Amino acid sequence: NAGVTQTPKFQVLKTGQSMTLQCAQDMNHEYMSWYRQDPGMGLRLIHYSVGAGITDQGEVPNGYNVSRSTTEDFPLRLLSAAPSQTSVYFCASSHWEAGANVLTFGAGSRLTVL
Amino acid sequence: GEDVEQSLFLSVREGDSSVINCTYTDSSSTYLYWYKQEPGAGLQLLTYIFSNMDMKQDQRLTVLLNKKDKHLSLRIADTQTGDSAIYFCAEGSGNTGKLIFGQGTTLQVKP
């Protein structure tokens, strides 16, 4: 049981380049989300999805696109990378437990934009 | 908007109790969570508490919730060096499922 798998683990981009961070889960969870982690700022929600075909914006969605064509996959696209997007990105899938939204996180993807 | 605040750093001696504090602003939060992040890893759920509860205990962990003051704390009894990590509190809305995280508290445990 792999849980939540993120690829790549590390990536260096030049300003203006595009890329996709992949996220896959094998727990059949409906709810998935993307966070970015920056020093002193904790985790901030970028986008989330409550099920296949449905996505919504979080706190910091600008510069990022998502899609959810299957239950398993929730890729995060950077259309034109900027140095401000240098961060560690975490994907999470979650299930409901007596009303609580219990997140399972991937190991993270460290992105550097030069 | 919603906001969650934590102190950034806590240092304790091995065997002592650790208390990590958190304040939040959203009075409609239905659940509050504690996550642990070890170096180079993702976050792992430690425990959560329903907003109608005052306390929850799980082995060495005790969560206290003061809903009136919007204050949450995590007490770790008999703290061990393996407890050294970053601890995040988060508030969640029942409607959307979104979690808002604090900045994280780095717990340093000295032998």
Cα distance between residue B85 and residue B80, in whole Å: 11
Helices H, strands E: what count in chain A? 0, 11
- B99 contacts in A (CB within 8 Å)? 33, 45, 101, 103
Q: Cβ A42–B102 below 8 Å, yes or no?
A: yes
For the segment A99-111, the average pLDDT, to the nearest whole number, is 93
Lowest mean pLDDT among A41-55, A80-94, B8-22, B85-99: B85-99
At residue B105, does pLDDT exceed 70? yes
* Chain B nearest CA to A69, separation (Å): 20
Distances from the Cα of B43 to the Cα of A26, A106, B81, angstroms: 18, 8, 18
Q: Cβ A101–B97 below 8 Å, yes or no?
A: yes
The per-residue pLDDT for B93 is 73
Q: Cβ B88–A43 below 8 Å, yes or no?
A: yes
- B100 contacts in A (CB within 8 Å)? 45, 59
The per-residue pLDDT for B95 is 67
- B98 contacts in A (CB within 8 Å)? 33, 45, 48, 58
- A99 contacts in B (CB within 8 Å)? 30-31, 50, 94
The per-residue pLDDT for A97 is 87
The per-residue pLDDT for B1 is 61
The per-residue pLDDT for A41 is 84
Of the candidates A31, A90, A101, the beta carbon closest to that of B42 is on: A90
Give yes or no for a contact between B102 and B7, defined as CB atoms under 8 angstroms apart. no
Q: Cβ A45–B43 below 8 Å, yes or no?
A: no
% of chain B beyond a pLDDT of 90: 77
Instruction: Please give the biggest Cα pair distance in chain B.
Output: 44
What dihedral angle (degrees, nearest 10) is formed by the CA atoms of B72, B10, B103, B22?
A: 10
pLDDT in tens, B2-48: 689 998 999 999 999 999 999 998 878 789 999 999 988 899 999 99
* Chain B nearest CA to A110, separation (Å): 10
Q: Give the residue with greater pLDDT, B26 vs A6.
A: A6
Lowest mean pLDDT among A13-17, A62-66, B39-43, B53-57: B39-43
Q: What is the mean pLDDT of chain A?
A: 94
pLDDT in tens, A21-66: 999 999 999 999 999 999 888 899 999 999 999 999 999 999 999 9
